[in-house]
Every structure is written in structure tokens, then in C-alpha cells.
Amino acid sequence: MQFFKNIFFYFLVLLCGIVHAQNPVEYVNPFIGTSNFGATNPGAIAPRGMVSVSPFNVAGKQNSLEKDSRWLSNPYVHENTFLTGFSHVNLSGVGCPDLGVILAMPTTGKLETNHLKYGSTYSNEIAKAGYYSTVLNKYKIKVETTASTRVGVSKYSFPQGESNVLINLGLGLTNEQGAMVKIVSSTEIEGVRNVGTFCYYKPEEAYPVYFVAKFSRPADAFGVWKKPAKYKGVEAEWMGYNGKTRRMKNYQKEVVGDSIGTYFTYHFNQPTQVEMKVGISYVSIENARKNLEKETANLAFDEIYQHTNKQWNNLLSRIEVEGGSKNDKTVFYTALYHTLIHPNTLNDYNGEYPKMANRETAKTEGTRFTVFSFWDTYRNLHQLMSLVYPEQQSDMVKSMLDIYRESGWLPKWELNATETTTMVGDPAGIVLADTYLRGIKDFDVHLAYEAMLKSADQIENNPLRPGLKDYIEKGYQTTKTTNSGSVSTTQEYNISDYAIAQLAKELGKKEDFKRFSKRSITYRKLFDKKFNLLRPKNDDGSWYANFTPEKGANFEKNKGFIEGNSWQYTFMVAHDVKGLKNLMGGDKAYVKQLNKVFDSGQFDMANEPDMGYPYLYNFIKGEEWRSQEKVAELRTTYFKNTPDGLPGNDDTGTMSAWVIYAMMGFYPIVPANPEYTLTTPVFDKITIHLNKQYYGNKSLIITKEGKGKINQVMLDGKVNQGFFITHKKLVESKELKFKLKE
């Protein structure tokens, strides 16, 4: 009898363990950031996926926000109610429109090809990591989507009667049009869609995205349509065939143009499910077909979703948190999820990808990454990758160096093997230096250094550092050098030069270390003691007269600053806090001026230049409590488990990286300086499972004890002096403990 009692107890304990087990993937809420210009979408995607299947609701007269161009940078806005399809290549958390193409839309009844007529309201949305579903109210169709790395998969639950699946190649976010679609059989189509012109830039550099779509059931009828864009309001022309004969002879099955598409029609005697798989490639239609076959050929929808969901859970489990609320965990793991979307995969299953500059086909043995939004991500995201996913960061760096080999320049804001040159500065070198200095050294550092020097020293025809001549000769850009951003561009070049100096020091290049260290602090020439702020100068060295420190916020044009003002940029010199303190008149004056940034409402949590400001109090002894209070205040104010739960554009994971650090209790405040500054962690215990190849077979445990402000920080049982810790010490330690006191 006792034996059976023991067995019963054993299973009871086991059952309780199962019930209470927490998988990080369960806390992902893809709706976070889909409002308040966060520019994320809830679509299904695999980690670093080339493909994402997103609901597309930004094209339709029923959507009140359609005319606001800021919403058009992503395929989905939470407030919108009218859906016109599901796009298969998308960007997440970007500020400019592109992609959002290859839209599939299931309908019922008579075929209609005008998206304003076939679009539908929707309800019962569900979004998880690797999964999205909704019900199209107009048709009573349940749509479920998932994805592998290069294949988007949809499952349509149709009611009885006539049903259709449309592939619309005319809609999208991209500024370019032009497409081709061909019906291969009653279960397969192939095609190509032109995309490009990110931020409406360089229309001559549009490029193709290829696709192959396969259906689980043969269509009873199918055809193509073409609607010339110049003929507004004209009904689309379409052709079909007698489904009983299963023949395509004498029927149009291929079309080329702008507003084109294809349809598959079914006649169901009872409710029926149809699965559709769409393989994508930036190389060729044949590669798109191979991607589809290799990744999903023999797998059904549910199997693909389970595999993708497991991938997400494995990656998210690199960091395990205990304590905190359910909302805290949801904010944290959704942020981690967002950082694992971009940069994303460019190469096909067979390793082929389009080379930078000429788009010739090349091949990689690892992963060729794309979507490098470096002006944003150099500040915190790549440091997070180096710590938690160093194997990915290594491939990202190798991708950057391949881009240099192929084009002659490091990337600035690269997108699918095109350089958009969006934003200012020369940020790629900062990432290269920072990665190497954190101990990830399995890349050609001498090639990296060569590339960094080229962009830093080549005055003529330099796409990465325009206005370099003035910067080198005067130490700063002037109002004549550029119509906008002379001060902020100077600061960005300073930070890049600081990164070169740090790498030069590591490599034993003493003269370069001295030269670039000197160049890294020339922002000081733009410091005006009258305002205790940075101020633009004219070509003759005089101060720019029409200067208002507040001017430039909220995307207002400004001679001195890009997407910000003097308040939002002056403190963006974390690599030279001591120098800025001296310019301002010492510690007290520095703190007083920093307080003004927050007290006067000039701080913008959604703005990259000042996102590190809350941590700057840690540089002033006795003022560290301010950083702890300010970080906690900003975190709880702007980061929430709601659609508007990001402070603004996620910038390919940059905002998400900020809150991840804020919740773990440390932040990489100085780019290209492998050091963290400390604040109060949210969770009672955080376990970071470090990569064995780079950091040994160990885990780093972060704990907190007590409540209130930081009273003491212990590293492996020894008191850590101050509020900074090096990356090397952190990853070589077993436990970082925060002792708090009211």
C-alpha cells in the first residue's frame, strides 16, 4: 500500500512541476509596440526570419489613421480595423516604409480584386511567438499563420460554398511597384515583386523579392488580373477555366505589371481547411522553391508552428527570470523577442545571397545577416547580443565585413543588400570595436580596422562620413557643411573615433590611439558656456545666431541637430563625461544641467541620443540614486504590457534592448567600452546561460536582496567598488548580488 502511496505522491509532485513550469515563450505578447508608433507587428515570424506573415491593415478607407504617414512604416496598426491581406516580407520597428508585400487574402463568394471592396474587418486576434490568427468578419474565415525562417505558412478555415485565395502584388508599403506572377499548376504559383526605396530613397536601387506559393488543395479555378495604375476605378480583368478539366490550355496564366495579382477559387461542399506555403528568396524563384521544400515540404501547419515555437523558447531561455509580476515577465520576454527579429537572415537555405553593390549571387557557410540599423543599435542592442547570443553577434560582424569586401564600405543602414545611408554618423565601426573588446574575436579584426580607418580618413567620395574635410580640419561640421545636423554629426564622428582609438590601443597601434583619442573630443569646440550646451558654429568659427536650444525636437529641422535638439544631444558624450563636466563647471553644474533635461520635459525616451541619460548620474559620486529612480520611473511609465507599451519606434529592437537592461540592473553606457553601469534589477533572480564557446560552460546569476536603493553590490561575495563593472569581470563571475536598503 505504501508503495502505491509513494507512486501517487511522485506523480503528484511531477504534475505540480509541469503545471508550474514556466516557458519564457509563454510571456511573449507580439501586440506590444503595435500602437504609439512602435512600428512592430504581431505577425508570425521565426527567430531572425527572412519571412514574417503579418496582418496588413494600413490600406483602406475605413482606417482613420491611414493618412498619417508615420503609420505607414509598418503593415499593422492596432487602432486600424480594416484588413486587406497578410504580407509576407516585413520590417519590425523601423521609422520608414518599405516591403510589406506579397499580400495573400482569403475571401468567399464572387471573386473581387479591388482591395477596398474585398477587405474586411476582423476580430478574435491571437498572437504568440511564431503564430498569429484572426477571424475575417465579412467572410467568417479563420486565418492562422506561422513561419519557418524562409517560408510563411497560412491555414484558412473556409465555410461551405465558393471561396478564393488572392495574391495581390500591387499593395505594399514600398514606394516601388512592378511585379510578375505565373500560375505553375492548380496548386502552385511563382513570381517576383519589386521593392526598395527605404525612406523613399534611391528609387534606382529597387531590387526583387522572389516567391513560390503552394496550396494543399488543387483549385477548381484560377487566373490572373492586371489593373493599370493610371486607370483609377477600372474593374480588374480576370480569366479562369473550367475546373473539371484541370487544363490550363488557352488561358492566361502569367501577367507582368504594377497592379497585378492571381487568384485560386474553390467550391466547398462543407467547411474545409486550405494550407498555403510561401517560400521567399532574394536570389531567384528557384531558390524560393528550394527554401519552401527544404524547410516545410513534408510538414503540416501545426508541425511548423511547434518547431518555430520551440526555437523561440530555446533562445528566450538563455535568460531566465524569477520574481516580478506577470506583466514584468511579459514586458521583458517580449522585448527579448523583439531583439531577436532584426538583424535577420538574408541567405537562402543553400547559403546563397545577393552581394552588396551589384547583387551578384554569393554563398555563405554561416548566416548572412541583413537589416543593420546601426545608428540605433550600436548603442545597446549589439552589446546585448555579444553577452547573450555571441554566436549570432559573431555572424553579424562577419556579415558586416563581407559587405565591406563586396562594396568597399562598411554598412550604415543596410537593407537586403542595399545601402540606404539613412541617418548620420559612421556607426558600424563602433559595433566592430565593441564586439572585439568584449572578447568575441573570431573574425578578421585587421580587416575591420582597415575598414574603420578608411571611413575615418578618406575625405573624397565617402558615403559614411560626408563633410569629413571640415570635421578633420576644424574639428567639427559647420552650418555650411550641412543644412541640418552639424553638431550631432560631429558628435557621432567623435564616438566613432573613440571606438577606433580603443581598438587601436588593443591592437598596439599607439599613434592611431593618440590621433583618434584627440579627434574623439572635438565636440568641445561647440560647447557654448552661455547656455552650458552644445551650439552650432558657422564656417568662420562664429556662433550660429538663430539658436534656440529647444528647437529641433519632434522631427523639426535644425541647423545643428538631427531628430533632436541641443538638450537632447549635449550629454551624448558618455565617452568623455569628465571633459563635459569640466566644461560645465564641475559635478554640481553637470548634475544641475542634467536635471534640467528631465525637469523641463526635454528628455525623449523614444530618442536614441538621450536614451542613456538616466544612467549618467552614476558618474557623479553621491548622485547614483538618481539613476536608480529615473530608470525605474521611465521603465514603468513607457514600457507596458499593452499595444502602446513602447515609448515610440522600437528601432529594430533598440528600445526593447533598453528595457531588458533596465530590468536586469545594468547598462552598456559607453559604446566601444566593455563596461556596464549598475541600477536596481526588477527581478529577484536572473540567470543568464552564457555561450559555452565564448564564455565557458557556466551561468551568470544576478540576485537582489531587500528593498529600496542599492546599498552594496557584491561580485562573487566581494564588494564591487562603485557603480560600474567590466564585461570581462561580469562574464567571469558566478553571481552579481544587489543588496538594497530603504
Mean pLDDT, residues 356-372 taken together = 96
Same domain, 401 and 534: yes
Q: Tell whether 644 is covered by a domain.
A: yes
* Final residue in a domain of this structure, among 271, 287, 313: 313
- The length of the chain is 742
For 225-273, how does the pLDDT look when each residue is reduced to its tens digit (9 = 90+)? Answer: 998 543 333 233 333 333 333 333 444 689 999 999 999 999 999 999 9
What does the block give as the cell for 539?
564656417
Same domain, 159 and 283: yes
Higher pLDDT pick, 484 / 582: 582
For 389-403, how does the pLDDT look when each residue is reduced to its tens digit (9 = 90+)? Answer: 999 999 999 999 999
What does the block give as the cell for 500?
577606433
Domain CATH for 191: 2.70.98.10
Number of domains in the chain: 2
Same domain, 613 and 651: yes
Q: What are the residues whose beta carbons fall under 8 Å from the beta carbon of 12, sequence distance 6 or more?
A: none
For 664-682, how does the pLDDT look when each residue is reduced to its tens digit (9 = 90+)? Answer: 999 999 999 999 999 999 9
Mean pLDDT, residues 422-447 taken together = 97
In terms of DSSP bridges, do strands 735-741 and 699-705 run parallel, antiparallel, or are they unpaired? parallel
Q: Return the bridge partners of 709, or none.
A: 741
What does the block give as the cell for 562?
538631427
Same domain, 304 and 396: no
Cα–Cα distance between 632 and 614 in angstroms, integer? 10
pLDDT of residue 357: 87
Other residues' Cβ atoms within 10 Å of the Cβ of residue 18: 8
pLDDT of residue 71: 45
Mean pLDDT, residues 715-741 taken together = 97
Q: What are the residues whose beta carbons fall under 8 Å from the beta carbon of 8, sequence distance 6 or more?
A: none
Instruction: Name the residue range of residue 478's domain.
Output: 318-741
What does the block give as the cell for 647?
515609448
Q: Tell whether 141 is covered by a domain.
A: yes
What does the block give as the cell for 617?
548620474
Q: Which residue spans within 2-160 are E strands per DSSP?
A: 44-45, 52-56, 82-83, 85-87, 103-108, 120-128, 131-136, 141-147, 151-158
Q: pLDDT band at residue 554, thresholds of 50, 70 and 90?
A: confident
Same domain, 251 and 380: no
What does the block give as the cell for 35?
500602437
Phi, psi (degrees; rounded to nearest 5) at 320: -115, 135
Cα–Cα distance between 263 and 667 in angstroms, integer? 51
Cα–Cα distance between 491 and 487 in angstroms, integer? 6
Q: Tell whether 597 is covered by a domain.
A: yes
Cα–Cα distance between 42 and 430 in angstroms, integer? 31
Domain CATH for 607: 3.30.2080.10
Same domain, 485 and 566: yes
Same domain, 181 and 247: yes
Asked if 191 and 211 count as a contact pair (C-beta separation under 8 A), the reply is: yes
For residue 628, CA distances in Å to 465, 480, 519, 702 come to 36, 41, 33, 17
The residue written with cell numbers 478574435 in the block is 124
In terms of DSSP bridges, do strands 103-108 and 141-147 run parallel, antiparallel, or are they unpaired? unpaired
Asked if 552 and 604 count as a contact pair (C-beta separation under 8 A), the reply is: no
Same domain, 306 and 363: no
Same domain, 233 and 326: no
For residue 567, CA distances in Å to 23, 295, 317, 479, 596 come to 42, 50, 39, 18, 9
Q: Tell whether 8 is covered by a domain.
A: no
* Residue from 29, 47, 52, 93 nearest 309 by CA: 47
Q: Tell whether 4 is covered by a domain.
A: no
pTM for the whole thing? 0.94
Cα–Cα distance between 679 and 664 in angstroms, integer? 8
Same domain, 453 and 327: yes
Q: Return the bridge partners of 132, or none.
A: 127, 145
pLDDT of residue 338: 98
Cα–Cα distance between 90 and 135 in angstroms, integer? 21
